[in-house]
Amino acid sequence: MKVTWSGIGPVNGTGKLGGTVFQNGRFGSIARRWVKPVNVVAPNFNGNFQRVNFSQITAAWRGLTPTERASWTPIGPGGLSGYNLFVSANLNYYRSQGIYITTYSPPGPAEVYTTANIQFNHATGLCKIDITVVSSVAGQGFLFYVANNLSKGVQSVRKSLFRLVYEDFPPNGVNHESFDARINGVPLIMGSQCFLKLTPFDLSTGFTLVPTIYSALVT
């Protein structure tokens, strides 16, 4: 609806009045009905979990002695600071164990595995992937991160777009994994590009190991 401001207010006014929002348009002011946005939240491993536990992990870091904090200095040049390493490890550890860790332990060897047949399905929102674990490591599994609904032809994706949606501890042999790849309930768009980051996870230390990234079109 186009609005003509004549004797009732300033020309090209903007703002909200009752249940109506006024904004500038190409040919003058436009009025539209204001509807409160609905935040759709689907089950995933982000959101409230990260917000609540981050403050608790920060408090746990402050409770460490100087010697304990110094033990969290990463091995080798570069990478995360001791504090960031502590936060990262505890987010992963608490998610699976329900407790925090304070003592630094280097991550163990990674599992040997191969993958095949990755699929993203528009109708179900599922990601399916076959994982063959050649050599499993006790207390180690995988974290599944997804970045979805990108334009076709995308070859790389920003780190911030990935969301953790699933975790599993598969045994040796062929494992047929299937999990919901939708983020906040948004459907997978037919023909869009989805990325899956498969990250080995060391349960005993809370550390993630070197990830592998795959991509496929939604069918």
Domain assignment present for 63:
yes
Instruction: Assess whether 191 and 120 both reside in one domain.
Output: yes
Confidence band (pLDDT; 50, 70, 90) for 18?
low
User: Is 102 among the domain residues?
Assistant: no
Distance between start and end Cα atoms, the chain: 39
> CATH number of the domain that 128 lies in?
2.60.40.10
Number of separate domains in the chain: 3
**How far, in whole angstroms, is CA 101 from its chain's centroid?**
22
Q: Are residues 61 and 87 in the same domain?
A: yes
Flag whether 39 is in a domain. Answer: no
For 59-86, the pLDDT digits (tens) are 889 988 988 888 887 665 556 788 888 8
Q: Are residues 93 and 117 in the same domain?
A: no
Task: Please give the structure tokens belonging to residue 146.
Answer: 């997804």
Give the residue-averaged pLDDT of 181-200. Answer: 92
Boundaries of domain holding 66: 48-97
Question: What SS3 class is residue 58?
Answer: helix
Instruction: Please check whether residues 147 and 196 belong to one and the same domain.
Output: yes
Integer-rounded Cα Rg, in Å, for the chain is: 24
Q: Are 165 and 82 within one domain?
A: no
CA dist., res. 69 & res. 141, Å (int): 27
Task: Kindly state whether residues 15 and 76 are assigned to the same domain.
Answer: no
Distance, C-alpha 144 to centroid of its chain: 9
Report which secondary-structure segment, H or E, holds 52: helix 48-62
107 assigned to some structural domain? no
Residue spans of alpha helices (H) in 131-213: none
- Do both 139 and 183 map to the same domain? yes
- 93 lies in the same domain as 134: no
Q: What is the pLDDT of residues 22-43, one digit of tens each?
A: 666 665 666 666 555 444 344 4
